[in-house]
A = this chain, B = another copy of it.
Amino acid sequence: MHRLLVKSATHSYPVYIGTHIRLHINRFLPKHYSSIMVITDDHVAPLYLEDIKKALRHYRVNEVVVPAGERSKNIHTFYNLHTQALDYGLDRESLIIALGGGVIGDLAGFMAATYMRGIDYIQMPTTILAHDSGIGGKTAINHERGKNLIGSFYPPVAVIYDTYVLHSLDDREKRSGYAELIKEALLRDEDFFNALLNTNVHDLTDKQLVNDLYKGMQIKSAIVAKDERDNNVRQFLNLGHTFAHALEAEVGYGEMTHGEAVALGLLFALHVSTAEFSQPLPYSSLLDWMQRNSYPLDLSMIQAQCMLERMRFDKKASREHIRMVLLANIADPVMFDLEIQKMKRYLVSFLNELSNRT
């Protein structure tokens, strides 16, 4: 089992990574709790909920199962979680466990952040992608105008990551998760990036998966420790995301996985970076890798103007500029304010380039 410690403004919390540790989750609770509510989705519940409840049989445990998918990250589900927690009698000494992927982590985290002004919660990621969202304390729900617009910074008390559960993922979710690993490698570690380009995400060994995740989480937690509230270096983690958030909203949440959108966003960041810095960057090798690993590359239905409008509603946008992360080189990210019209030209050229290629 690997163990990492993540520093936050209010407390440090451990990340445990290991096989089958869900069966002993009781050992990883930081203190006694008056009761526990497990929040999960209807894909994950049939697979792992009983394991968790068995491990926690000495506690009063209730569960809430929401429909799987991005659509559950809305204000109604959020309010209903509060209602159910009240019905179950959760108090300030209770614990929330977020058992699922990024959607569950964000939703249950925000619910815990706001239940009676904040109670403890634990992240139990069940996807590769959630290795990223599971640490760092960002919680949120979506607004109909855009993703993650309502939320808060509220770190968990622990992250318990059972890599066994990743075997139940389908290829699409593996692709989605590896996009964030590619991002972390691009931000900090060229060797890791090159190793990932040799990876076939549909044919992963256990050992490789655990090591890749551990490396990715180390990068993420080092960045978060430096800037929890996202005023500075943490914004680099947004690499690829300005484009990705707009794309997800444009195709409809849930139609494309977050990671698939991020992979396209990384490609777009390399496209813009190459032009801005006249520097050789691995645009083509990333595109090749994405093709080999069956990432969606067909954006023929996407309009540059619509993407632009979405980007202007992004949390990071100001009125005249759209802020995005570029790479002066691999492992050398920079924040960049692009004028609206310039951004539009890059969107047009990127979409053209992709459609010529595919």
Interchain CA distance A92-B152 in the complex, whole Å: 13
Let me know if A316 is at the binding interface, CB within 8 A: yes
Let me know if A117 is at the binding interface, CB within 8 A: yes
* Tally of this chain's copies: 2
Interface pair B9/A89, CB less than 8 Å apart: no
Interface size of A by Cβ–Cβ distance < 8 Å?
Answer: 39
* Contact residues of A between 129 and 159, Cβ < 8 Å to B: 138, 140, 143-146, 148-154
The chain B residue with its CB closest to the CB of A94 is B318
Closest approach, in angstroms, between the C-beta of A206 and any C-beta of chain B?
35
Interface pair A318/B93, CB less than 8 Å apart: yes
Residue from B83, B89, B117, B149 in contact with A153 in the complex, judged by beta carbons closer than 8 Å: B117
Interface pair A152/B316, CB less than 8 Å apart: no
Closest approach, in angstroms, between the C-beta of A78 and any C-beta of chain B?
8
Interface pair A114/B9, CB less than 8 Å apart: no
Those 3 A-B pairs whose CB atoms lie nearest each other, nearest first = A116-B315, A86-B145, A117-B151
Identify 8 new A-B residue pairs, CB closer than 8 A, beyond the known A86-B149, A91-B319. Answer: A9-B9, A91-B318, A92-B316, A115-B149, A117-B230, A118-B152, A118-B153, A152-B154
Let me know if A313 is at the binding interface, CB within 8 A: yes
Let me know if A188 is at the binding interface, CB within 8 A: no
Residue from B86, B117, B230, B316 in contact with A140 in the complex, judged by beta carbons closer than 8 Å: B117
Interface pair A315/B91, CB less than 8 Å apart: yes
Closest approach, in angstroms, between the C-beta of A302 and any C-beta of chain B?
22
Interchain CA distance A135-B317 in the complex, whole Å: 31
Contact indicator per residue, chain A 279-320, by CB within 8 Å of chain B (1) or not (0): 000000000000000000000000000000000010111110
Between-chain CB contacts (< 8 Å), 6 pairs = A86-B149, A92-B315, A92-B316, A113-B152, A115-B149, A117-B152
Let me know if A10 is at the binding interface, CB within 8 A: yes
Interface pair B82/A319, CB less than 8 Å apart: no
Interchain CA distance A229-B9 in the complex, whole Å: 14
Q: Which residues of the partner chain B approach A113 to less than 8 Å between Cβ atoms?
A: 152
Let me know if A75 is at the binding interface, CB within 8 A: yes
Let me know if A232 is at the binding interface, CB within 8 A: no
Interface pair A319/B151, CB less than 8 Å apart: no
Known A-B contacts A117-B138, A138-B117; A150 and B82 likewise in contact (beta carbons under 8 Å):
yes
